Amino acid sequence: MFDEIDFGRIDLEEAPPLEEPARQFYFIAKCREWVKDFEEKHGRLPKACVTTFGCQMNARDSEKLSGILRDIGYEMTEDERADFVIFNTCTVRDNANQRVYGRLGELNGYKRRNPGMKIALCGCMMQEPEVIEKLKKSYPFVDLVFGTHNIYKFAELLCRSFESQGMLIDIWKETDKIVEDLPVERKYPFKSGINIMFGCDNFCSYCIVPYVRGRERSREPEDILREIRRLVADGVVEVMLLGQNVNSYGKTLDKPVAFAELLRQVEGIEGLKRIRFMTSHPKDLSPELIQVMKESEKICRHLHLPLQSGSTEILRRMNRRYTREQYLELVQKIRGEIPDIAITTDIIVGFPGETPEDLEQTIDMVRRVKYDNAFTFIYSKRTGTPAAAMEDQVPEAQMKEGFDRLLKVVQETAREQAAKLQGRVMEALIEEVNENDPSLVTGRLFDNRIVHVPGDASLVGKLMPVSLEECHGFYYMGRIYKGDVLC
C-alpha cells in the first residue's frame, strides 16, 4: 500500500532523487524532521486543515494533499484554526473565487492569533495570473501558492516554504506528467474517486477548465486497475472514475483504449461492488458505453449528462458540438436500453445571446428528458474565455428570472421522477450517520438517490437492502428490508 514507505530510512544527507515519486518521499521525510522539532517545542503535533472548493477532481486532489500531510506527521483537523491551512480552490464561476477571498480574510484573523500558522493556496484559481497579482497585493500573509500542474510536488514546496520567508509562488503553465503512487488519505474508507484522466480539450466557450487544468491526459489502464485493486484490498466497495470528459478517455494514449473497454476491465475486479463515473460529454458517448452499462452488474444506473442549454443555437455558440435533437436522440437510446437509469444534468442560464425563446427550449428539454436532478447555474463571465468577449451579455435581472423559472421546472420533474420508486426495495450503500438525526443513517441507491433509514454507525460502509417508504422530493425515508427480495 501507499503508506508502507519507511520514511525513517530515507537518507537526508544525500541529494534529493530526481525521479518521482521518490523525490517527494525524500521531502516528506525532510518535513517530518520539522514536525519533530515542532513537537519538541510545543509538546504536541502540529495540526493541518485541507479545505476543498469545487468538483470531485478537486476533492480527490485534496485527498492526496491530506495523505502527504498525514505522512509528514500532521494531525488532520477540519478546524481552520490550525497550524497549516490549505485551500484547494475552484474558479469555474466567480462566486467560487469570492468565497475564497472571503475565507482568506478569516484565516488572516486566525494567523494574527497564531503567528506560526502557515497558509497555502492551490488549485484551479491559482492558474489565473490576475489572481496571483491580487494575492501579492492584498493577501501578503499567504505563505505558499501553487497550481494544478505541480500539485504532486506539494511535499517539496512545503519543505521549501519552511525554509523561506514571505510568499512562495510556484505556478506551471502546463505539464504532460502524471505522477503515480503518492500517498492518499481517503475521506471514506469504503468508497473512493479515481482519476482516470486530467485536463480537458473541449474548450466550451464559457468554460475556464481547459485553461486552468491543461490538456487532456489519460492514465494508463494498468495504473488505474492497479490502484483500484489496491483500494478494494483496503476495503473500498465503490469507485467513481473521474475526468472532465470520461467518454474521451484513452484517446491520447500510445495504445488507445476506449472508456467502454476500461469499464469492462474495471468490472472484472473481484470484490468491487459498484462503479460510477463522471462527467460524460454527450458528443463522445459511444454505443459501446451504453452496451457495457446495460450488461454490467456493477456500473450504477446513473448518468450525469450535462445539457448546458436546450437551444441548438446556444449550444453552437457554447461550442458543445451537439444539437438539441442529437441530445434527445441519445437520451432516448439510453433510456430504451437501460429503462431504470437515472439521468442528471448541468444547465447554464444566461449565456451571452440567450433569448427568452432559447430558455423556453431548455425548459422544454427538462420536461422531455425528465431529469432525475439538474444542477442549474447562472452564467458567470470567465476572463480569457471566448464567451467573455461576446457582445450580447444577458442582463443580470433577466438571468435571475430565467434561473428561477428553470429551477421550478427542474424541481417538479425531479420530484415526479423520484416518486416512481415509492414502495420498492433497492440496495443502498450506507455512507454515514445522519448529521441532523443520529438515529438515522444515510445511504446511496444504485441510481445515486439518497435514502435515510433508522440505523447506527455499524452499518456504515455496508450494502443493505432498503425499502423506500416516503418520497421527500430529492430523498427517501425508508427502512432496512428484512425480507429477501431485492428489486
Q: Which is nearer to ligand F3S, 62 or 361 (CB)?
A: 62
The region of 290-298, 332-340, 379-387, 438-446 touching ligand SAH under the rule CB under 6 A is 379-387
Q: Sketch the per residue contact string, 80 through 119, with ligand F3S: x for CB under 6 A, - otherwise.
A: ----------xxx---------------------------
Asked whether position 375 contacts ligand SF4 by CB under 6 A, the answer is no
The site partner of 377 among ligand SF4, ligand SAH, ligand F3S, none (C-beta below 5 to 8 Å per kind) is ligand SAH
Query: Of the candidates 97, 245, 344, 442, which one interacts with ligand SF4 according to CB under 6 A?
Result: 245
Q: Taking CA 308 as the corner, what is the angle to CA 368 and CA 403, rounded to the nearest 5 degrees?
A: 85
Query: Of the candidates 30, 149, 281, 301, which one interacts with ligand SAH according to CB under 6 A?
Result: 281
Dihedral sign for Cα atoms in the order 393, 394, 399, 405: negative
CA-closest candidate to residue 216, choices 155, 279, 265, 154: 279
Q: What is the DSSP string of 185-226?
A: --SSSSEEEEE-EE------TT--HHHHH-S-EEPPHHHHHH
Interaction residues for ligand SAH, span 298-327 (CB under 6 A)? 306, 308
Minimum distance from residue 352 beta carbon to ligand SF4 (Å):
15
CA 89 – CA 123 distance, rounded (Å): 5
Q: Which is nearer to ligand F3S, 57 or 303 (CB)?
A: 57
CA 65 – CA 167 distance, rounded (Å): 19
Q: What is the DSSP string of 242-264?
A: E-TTGGGTTTTSSS---HHHHHH
Minimum distance from residue 382 beta carbon to ligand F3S (Å):
9
Asked whether position 206 contacts ligand SAH by CB under 6 A, the answer is yes
Helical (H) or strand (E) element with 112: helix 94-113
Asked whether position 57 contacts ligand F3S by CB under 6 A, the answer is yes
The site partner of 379 among ligand SF4, ligand SAH, ligand F3S, none (C-beta below 5 to 8 Å per kind) is ligand SAH
**At 101, which amino acid appears?**
Y
Written as nine digits, the cell of 118 is: 502557515
Query: Of the candidates 69, 72, 124, 468, which one interacts with ligand F3S according to CB under 6 A?
Result: 124
DSSP 413: H
Interaction residues for ligand SF4, span 208-237 (CB under 6 A)? 209-210
Q: Which is nearer to ligand SF4, 347 or 445 (CB)?
A: 347
Asked whether position 377 contacts ligand SAH by CB under 6 A, the answer is yes
Q: How many helices and strands in the chain, by DSSP H and E?
A: 13, 19
Query: Of the candidates 35, 55, 390, 450, which one interacts with ligand F3S according to CB under 6 A?
Result: 55
Find where cell 473565487 sits. 97
CA 10 – CA 67 distance, rounded (Å): 18
Contact 168, 160 (CB under 8 A): yes
Taking CA atoms, 22 is separated from 63, 100, 179, 180, 355, in Å, by 19, 33, 10, 11, 55
The region of 206-214, 342-350, 355-363, 385-393 touching ligand F3S under the rule CB under 6 A is 206-214
CA 75 – CA 45 distance, rounded (Å): 6
The helix, strand and coil proportions of the chain, stated in percent and rounded to the nearest 5, come to 40, 20, 40
Minimum distance from residue 119 beta carbon to ligand F3S (Å):
19
CA 47 to mean position of chain CA atoms? 25
The region of 131-139, 329-337, 377-385, 411-419 touching ligand SAH under the rule CB under 6 A is 377-385
Minimum distance from residue 248 beta carbon to ligand SF4 (Å):
9
Asked whether position 244 contacts ligand SF4 by CB under 6 A, the answer is yes
The site partner of 57 among ligand SAH, ligand F3S, ligand SF4, none (C-beta below 5 to 8 Å per kind) is ligand F3S
**At 400, which amino acid appears?**
K
Query: Of the candidates 207, 228, 418, 426, which one interacts with ligand SAH according to CB under 6 A?
Result: 207
Find where cell 501558492 sits. 145
Query: Of the candidates 7, 10, 48, 58, which one interacts with ligand F3S according to CB under 6 A?
Result: 58
CA-closest candidate to residue 370, choices 330, 326, 410, 311: 410
The region of 8-16, 52-60, 104-112, 374-382 touching ligand F3S under the rule CB under 6 A is 52-60
**At 319, which amino acid appears?**
N
Contact 20, 152 (CB under 8 A): yes
Asked whether position 281 contacts ligand SF4 by CB under 6 A, the answer is yes
Query: Of the candidates 204, 266, 299, 426, which one interacts with ligand SF4 according to CB under 6 A?
Result: 204
Q: Which is nearer to ligand SF4, 69 or 90 (CB)?
A: 90
CA 281 – CA 299 distance, rounded (Å): 18
Q: Which is nearer to ligand F3S, 152 or 190 (CB)?
A: 152
Q: Sketch the per residue contact string, 212 through 251, with ligand SAH: x for CB under 6 A, - otherwise.
A: --------------------------------xx------
Binding site for ligand SF4 (CB under 6 A): 200, 202-204, 207, 209-210, 244-245, 281
